[in-house]
Amino acid sequence: MADDTNTPVFQIQRMYLKDLSLEQPNAPQILMEQAQPQVDIKLSLAAEPIAEGLFEVSVTATVTTSIEDKTLFLIEAKQAGIFEIRNLPQEQLEGILSIVCPQMIYPYLRAIVSDVCTRAGFPPVMLTEVNFQAMFEAQQAQIMAAAQANGDASTAPN
């Protein structure tokens, strides 16, 4: 039994749509425009401990589609999951929360964004595949660079 308490645990407890918003602020006039819209997509990740060994991880997509300087539609969708993660070193925990969990959540988010576009009367916006490992590594590199810059800056006069 003592071995069981130190055994690493990773389980999905729940996947859910946490937030969803669709705005068409310039409808109906802009719907008559024939120009090709510009699409801007932003992704963000968040991970929060919610109880001992339980974490909520969320991936948010903000899709802004505009014609010239007018918004055609704006979708913000946040898909989340609750994960049980226990008995892992901190380095592994960070990677799981930043890479593995978002990879599991993201397909649901892609489907929701596409579905909302279609239900709003537009062609679906297909979110591209995301390399969460590359995102995590880039973030870690930025943190290291910032730490080194702050170390250098603290020795330099203002």
Instruction: Give every CB contact of residue 58 below 8 A, 6+ residues apart in sequence.
Output: 18, 45, 46, 47, 78, 79, 80, 81, 105
State the pLDDT at residue 71: 94
Task: List per-block mean pLDDT (blocks of 10 residues) for the chain, which spans 158 residues.
Answer: 72 97 93 90 96 97 94 97 94 92 97 96 92 90 85 50
State the pLDDT at residue 4: 59
State the pLDDT at residue 54: 97
